[in-house]
Structure 1
Amino acid sequence: MPEMNLVERYQAHRVRRFLANSEKWRKLLPSWRTQRRRRVLVAGLAVTFALMLAVAVACHFYEKAPLLWLPASLLFFLIWPSLAIVSGRQGDAPPGALDEWEVQQQNSARSTALSITQWLVMIPVVYLVYGSALTGGTHTTMAYTGGLLTLTMLMIGGCLPTMILAWSRPDPDPDPESDEFLMEAA
């Protein structure tokens, strides 16, 4: 058997780490693993991103608006890990940990997310390029606003594969080892 190169060793490490983490988080938030509840989390994350965009736009007009970024970030750091856990982290799973159908869905979600991200990032780019040209670079909050807009757009793009998969995947099959499954079978 030929020796594995650096990339192959790294991919094998990612698969092992992913599977170990999956086992660790598998029993967490069991009632939130249904499609309906995952969709609630996806909607909550979308609202959080809308709030982040509103804060970024408000930063253009009000110098104290960046303080509103803290509650938006707190909301993000509550919802995002929950969504990642209940969706099984399928959006960023290494291909070696997925079957062919899951890899195909992941690639489709990632492709869609990349296209959306490229278009979304154009918003802060246009804002910064034309805004700085129109103001001569003298607007004091333009850089901060552009930074928050860019950060929000990139966060949306980074979360989109998981959001797409969590929204579209059906409810998981019942676990044959779970108590609920054993009670239904009796």
Structure 2
Amino acid sequence: MPDTTVLERYQNFRTRRFLRNEERYRHWLPRWRTRRRRRLLVVVLAVILTCMAAVGGVCLVDMTAGALLWVPAVAVFLVTWTTLQIVSGRQGDAPRDALDEWELQQRDSARSIGLTVTQVLTFLPAAVLVVTGSRVGAVVDTRFLYAAGLFVLTTLIVGACTPAMILAWTRPDPETDDRQETE
């Protein structure tokens, strides 16, 4: 009989992978690891996410234009999100065993807020879809369905990004010695 369960082995694997990746990326973008630069990335990410929601609104009027706007918005989102994850050390989705008590408390608090954000924001387009779909004999325009799908997708992305955004915004600057090591 193995001493560990499947979940424990998976958590151990996640922790090893996280620590290996943390070591690999800890020297990347050293000048972007300051609180000021991380906050700038959070603001840019919030603007991009707002634009993604606006693209959903555009799709209500013109689905082709909306679809064409969605692609660059997602591309810019992916670059910004990846940069934020690198400079903040991916603390928002770090495994439990890779964090100390303070980091764990911060991560869990940010995740709790992220879950609340996800639930509240996703409820709105989902409720509209339920109400619209419950109308007897209603024929729903494809633009509406496409836009609603983009709204739901955007709200899920917002909720998934929220913990990392909170942690990147609130974390202090790295210690001077740590910053000198990474440069």
Shared fold by TM > 0.5?
A: yes
**Number of matched pairs:** 180
Which residue pairs with 2:122 in the alignment? 121
Match for residue 43 of structure 1?
43
The gaps in structure 2 that reach 5 residues or longer are none
Aligned pair 1:163/2:182, yes or no? no
* Among 167, 178, 181, the residue aligned to 2:180: 178
TM-score, scaled to structure 2: 0.92
> Which structure has greater helix proportion?
2
CA distance in 2, matches of 1:113, 1:10: 24
**TM-score for both structures, normalised by structure 1:** 0.91
RMSD, aligned α-carbons: 1.9
State the distance in 2 between where 1:8 and 1:175 align: 35
- Structure 1 residues 58 and 87, CA gap change in structure 2 (3 angstroms): same
Quote the sequence identity (%). Answer: 49
Q: State the alpha-carbon separation in 1 of the partners of residues 150 and 33 from structure 2.
A: 31
Letter of the structure 1 residue corresponding to residue 161 of structure 2 = C
Aligned to 2:149: 147
Alignment match of 1:138 (pick from 119, 122, 140): 140
Is the Cα–Cα contact under 8 Å of residues 55 and 70 in structure 2 kept in the other structure? yes
Give unpaired runs (5+ residues) of structure 1. Answer: 182-186
Deviation by residue 1:34-62 (Cα, 9 ceiling, x = unmatched): 00000000000000000000001110111
Q: Does residue 67 of structure 1 match 2:61?
A: no
CA positional deviation for 1:126: 2.3
CA deviation after TM superposition for structure 1 residue 30, in Å: 0.3
Aligned mates of 2:112, 2:125 — CA distance in 1: 21
In the other structure, the counterpart of 1:14 is 14
1:75 aligned counterpart, secondary structure: helix
On the 8 A contact 2:30/2:179 being kept in 1, the answer is no
